[in-house]
Structure 1
């Protein structure tokens, strides 16, 4: 089956809409929400709500122990009213906290490990339809167990579960793991991420 391409994909070509006005309607520690009006030659005027992440990217950590297992965190997520299995992840506490420092802190606080090595291996847009939120992903190796902290009121003392990449991959396939950043990390691990970064 042929799939002709008429031009290379250009993500930075001119916008089909023009921004008219912007008003901030929500401000919080992690994000702000703007109400934005746009003009389109085809559809006329319309409005959208856009979420802007504060303090840089969200950071996620795919960590692997010396015996080849990945720590996944049990967390209760209020918006979806369910428990999830997730790789350690979170936000900067201030504009001065760098992504790598966030990765180290979240691996410590959520999974209870320090790592000898961190390598950034990916970055993705979480919800491009209404947010500018990006997640930077790090691979952590050379792990040493340490005491961890308290995550928050939703999961005040979450459980850390250790799985091989194959076990985690099976949980992605059967729908046990549904968190997007964790799905991406597990699929990358299944494709041999650790070997390519060594």
Structure 2
């Protein structure tokens, strides 16, 4: 599991999406090769328990997604590079899926920085793709969500920055089956076509 950190800077979501458009346009390949090292099988010690608030201020719990396959990514809205690239990758992978497949997927972004990531902040951050559901909550609820997925996240002070701190965190996509069981984690090193292929396999 790689640990990533970010320093303050402008959002790269638009740039990330533009860079990933090339992979999203390569539809029709017979089969997509998926590197074995990109996919981690998860044990029963991983759960998907959370009770949070979405970017519209509505309470959302893991049970609300039963019957759909969740793709969960943990990050934070002031992350300058890793999170925008990962969310751009997720957005491009959704574009690779057909409408019927997308209806079975719930793409979820859970903040590791609830202190700053209010529902309003997440709504603005995720405005580039309204399909992605942003979740936040108080410090206790956010910590419980991280613990259920065994996500690494740690505050790192930035004394020279106006933001004051950044968040070091792992960068993985967690795929949760329709019964709420986390099945696999996927490294963010895959491309959009590969991530889409992995999701199709989980839907079948």
Q: TM-score, normalised by structure 1?
A: 0.26
Task: Tell me which protein shows more helix as a share of its residues.
Answer: 2
Which structure has more RCO (C-alpha within 8 Å, separation ≥ 6)? 2
Q: TM-score, normalised by structure 2?
A: 0.25
